[in-house]
Amino acid sequence: MEKIESHGCFGGRQQVWSHTATTLGCTMRFGVYLPPQAESADCPVLYWLSGLTCSEQNFITKAGAQRYAAEHGVILVAPDTSPRGESVPDAEGYDLGIGAGFYLNATRPKWAQHYRMYDYVVDELPALVDAHFPTTSARAISGHSMGGHGALVIALKNPGRYRSVSAFSPIAAPSQSPWGEKAFSAYLGEDREAWQAWDATALVPGAQERLPLLIDQGGDDEFLANQLKPELLRAACEAAGHPLQLRLRPGYDHSYYFISSFIGEHLAHHAKALCG
């Protein structure tokens, strides 16, 4: 563990740490916001997963979440979106390789050694956070776009681990979107049946826990119809009786202007579940 940054922020500290990630076989960075309450007590944790092309920096510098985390006494943890380094394989384009880990465990030989973001987010990173910071056992998870996909899939695959889940503009049915089809083909191979384990829409019917899903989606999002397809997730939830609150926000796009406009509502949603 090496501290890269530390800044005073709303009475707490916004930090960035690096460490050797054994799951990914490389050095990783993650952001941690410690609210003022963490100086004297253990606090619950909200994990935030960012989208394509992002690192840990996008959320901690653009979302404005620290103000609300300080109000509610919630630690924010924002990992990078993929493994990085000279030994890590990459690909041309922004939607595969570095910056596009898709929060799954790759199985194809080129990618399998390093691209295990699911194991990293679910197991290695929380163990590290719990060992080094004043955390309780209460966790929540959220994310944006590719990270929204990751948050939904991770919550659905791990009943009882998270007290709440939310997403902004998630890739809701990646098996049926160009981004997801490209990534899944590369990381998992051409067997579309294997893709279903990493698709929130496909996971909902068999979910062992009916954890409510909260999703905000910009009505003017340029990726809404072709890539995100929240209507497919809504249909799956309706058929399975899975609780879903899908809010379409007219006039908002895919950017952090959208996220920062409603991040306070998401923090309040998670704080209610985390803090009682």
Q: Which of 254, 266, 269, 270 is catalytic?
A: 254
The answer to whether the Cα torsion of 88, 186, 21, 50 is positive or negative is positive
156, 202 in Cβ contact below 8 A? no
End-to-end CA distance of the chain: 32
Cα 159 from Cα 114, distance rounded (Å): 26
Whether 254 is catalytic: yes
231, 263 in Cβ contact below 8 A? no
Q: Which of 82, 175, 221, 242 is catalytic?
A: 221
Q: Which of 50, 55, 145, 177 is catalytic?
A: 145
55 — alpha (psi -120 to 50), left (phi > 0) or beta?
beta
Cα 37 from Cα 101, distance rounded (Å): 33
> Which sequence positions are flagged as catalytic?
145, 221, 254
